[in-house]
Amino acid sequence: MREPLRIAVLGAGRIGKMHAEHIVHHVPRARLVSVVDLHEELAQACAVACGIDDYGTSLSSILNRSDVDAVAICTSSTTHTEIIEAAAGAGKHIFCEKPIDLTLERIDSALEAVESAGVLFQVGFQKRFDPSYQRIRRAIDNGEIGTPYSVHIASRDPAPPPIEFLRTSGGLFLDMTIHDFDMSCFLMGHDVMTVYAAAAVRVDPAIGAIGDVDTATIVLQYGDGTLLTIENGRSSAFGYDQRVEVFGSKGSIRVDNSYPNTAILSTEESVRRDVPYHFFLDRYKGAYIEELRAFTEAVLDGKPSPLSGKEARMPVVIGLAAKLSLKARRPVEIAEIASTV
């Protein structure tokens, strides 16, 4: 395909604006051609911030333009599948923020549209593009730690999002743990057999009031017996808590939190450092850039998607199993969920 890849960003909220700026400043082989948002002032503000004049409010217009090669879907989750289908129909390559959708039916329908159209489709689980998690993956692939026996993921946000957002988020497992389920797929593949979830409301009773939980532990067991544990929380006093460890027959590898500076201060009180990154956009800035570079490279060079629809469907399956486990207070077989479709 002709370079640069011409991308339109759909949705000019926080994440859309970030991707738009990354395209302009950090993806040399791509160009931002337009920003679309139902709220014109948001679209305009984003375009101005990115130094382009082209913005709009109409999805159909943008999909009809021949100078748009690809779209980055950054609208609210409930609109994803409809836009995917329209974009695929228009022959546009698609980068889509996670999750594709909260239901398997709509996901499968969207993925069929993608396949029929033959466009490249990539989902925005950015953590896979972080160099430290990639180092874990490499250690597994290289046999540096032997056969994996167990995995531990600690994943906590600094503070809960607004209740209004949570109300339609799909709940902790599909909104937040979904990233950790994707990490589980990245590191351990797709052969999950059972899912057990235990949870509580500890951070904010308002989260309980809308039927959600804010603190959870989820245990996955794989076909070969491997055990994977995820610890989640909607609040973390010291900032964004993002740690992964894989323990295997020949050793273990782990990634601890990341920090804005490396200075260590020693006084009569303690030996200390400043807290980790607080904001996910800071912690994963490099990873967000890399995922767009990988998308651009895959389209331009005719490579397979770095994170296909099939890959991105599995975290939703696990998330639905976790929801059922919590409700039914028992471990759930993945087959129970898979068979629902």
Residues within window 129-188 making contact with a second copy, judged by CB under 8 A? 131-132, 134-136, 139, 144-147, 149-150, 152, 154, 156
* 336: Cβ contacts below 8 Å, ≥ 6 apart: 321, 324
Query: How many alpha carbons fall within 13 Å on the CB side of residue 30?
Result: 33
Count the residues in the chain.
Answer: 341
- Residue span binding a second copy (CB under 8 A) among the ranges 76-84, 97-105, 180-188, 223-231: 223-231
In the region spanning residues 25 to 64, those forming contacts with a second copy, defined by CB under 8 A, are: 25-26, 28, 51
- Nearest-approach distance from CB 30 to a second copy, in angstroms: 13
Is residue 334 close enough to count as binding a second copy by CB under 8 A? no
Q: Is the dihedral of CA 279, 280, 286, 288 positive or negative?
A: negative
Query: CA 330 to CA 31: how far, in whole Å?
Result: 49
CA pair distance 238, 240, nearest whole angstrom: 7
Q: How far apart are CA 93 and CA 154, in angstroms?
A: 34
How many Cα atoms within 13 Å fall on the side-chain side of residue 214? 22
Smallest CA-to-CA distance from 152 within 196, 183, 195 is with: 183
Output the smallest distance, CB 261 to a second copy, in A. 4
Residues 80-139 that bind a second copy (CB under 8 A): 131-132, 134-136, 139
Instruction: Please identify which residue in 53, 141, 164, 268 interacts with a second copy, judged by CB under 8 A.
Output: 268
The answer to whether 269 contacts a second copy (rule: CB under 8 A) is: yes
Interface with a second copy includes 279 (CB under 8 A)? no
Tell me if 229 contacts a second copy by CB under 8 A. Answer: yes
Give whichever of 170 and 239 is closer to a second copy, judged by the CB atom. Answer: 239
Nearer to a second copy, 43 or 216 (CB): 216
Which one of 221, 283, 300, 320 is in contact with a second copy (CB under 8 A)?
221
**Region at 178 (left for phi over 0; alpha for psi -120 to 50; beta for the rest):** alpha
Shortest CB 164 distance to a second copy, Å: 23
